[in-house]
Amino acid sequence: NAGVTQTPKFRVLKTGQSMTLLCAQDMNHEYMYWYRQDPGMGLRLIHYSVGEGTTAKGEVPDGYNVSRLKKQNFLLGLESAAPSQTSVYFCASSYSAREAFFGQGTRLTVV
Amino acid sequence: SQQGEEDPQALSIQEGENATMNCSYKTSINNLQWYRQNSGRGLVHLILIRSNEREKHSGRLRVTLDTSKKSSSLLITASRAADTASYFCATDGRAGSARQLTFGSGTQLTVLP
């Protein structure tokens, strides 16, 4: 039982490049979330999904897009990376906004 | 803005002492949760308290919830050096028909041996 798996774990991008972060969960959870965590701050919600084929904006959605084509996967895309997107990104899944299970994070640096 | 705000931002205590962290939130909730994060790791769920509950225990953890004041507290009794971590409260708010889980800014707890 892997829980929530994020790939990649580390990435360095140049400004303007694009990339996709993958989150996979094997717990059949309906809810999935993408957060970013910056030094001294808590987790800020980027986008979330309440089921396959659905997505919704969170607190800080600008510059990001998401897709939930399969129930077990939630993809976060950066179309044109900016230095302000340097952060640690966490994916989580849960059953109906209850106990959430987190991945180990993706440390992204945009130079 | 974030739904939950923890207080204090940082707390340093001696091993064996109790640690109390507080969380305030803004809107009505279905439940409130506390999570722990060790440095460089993902968050781990500690305890969930429903909006109709006032107190809940789990091992050395005690959580209280006061919905009239929109606040919660997490008490860790007989702290250990291994309790050193950041602690976050999370609330489930409703945006339209969906429920989203939002986190506060956290309390950094340091337990000195």
**A vs B: CB pairs below 8 A:** 75
Nearest alpha carbon to residue B30 among B1, B63, B5, B67: B67
With CA atoms as reference, the chain B residue closest to A51 would be: B98
Q: Could A97 and B45 be called an inter-chain contact, meaning their C-beta atoms sit closer than 8 Å? A: no
What are the tens digits of pLDDT across the range A31-44? 999 999 998 778 99
Q: Could B105 and A41 be called an inter-chain contact, meaning their C-beta atoms sit closer than 8 Å? A: yes
Q: Could B95 and A56 be called an inter-chain contact, meaning their C-beta atoms sit closer than 8 Å? A: yes
CA distance A69 to A109: 27
Q: Could B99 and A31 be called an inter-chain contact, meaning their C-beta atoms sit closer than 8 Å? A: yes
- pLDDT score recorded for residue A13: 97
Question: B11 CB contacts (<8 Å, ≥6 apart)?
Answer: B19, B21, B107, B108, B109, B110
What are the tens digits of pLDDT across the range B7-33? 899 999 999 999 999 999 988 888 999
Q: What is the mean pLDDT of chain A?
A: 94
What are the tens digits of pLDDT across the range A58-80? 999 999 999 999 999 999 999 99
The answer on pLDDT for B97 being more than 60 is no
Mean pLDDT value of segment A71-94: 97
Query: How far out from the chain centre does Cα A60 lie?
Result: 12
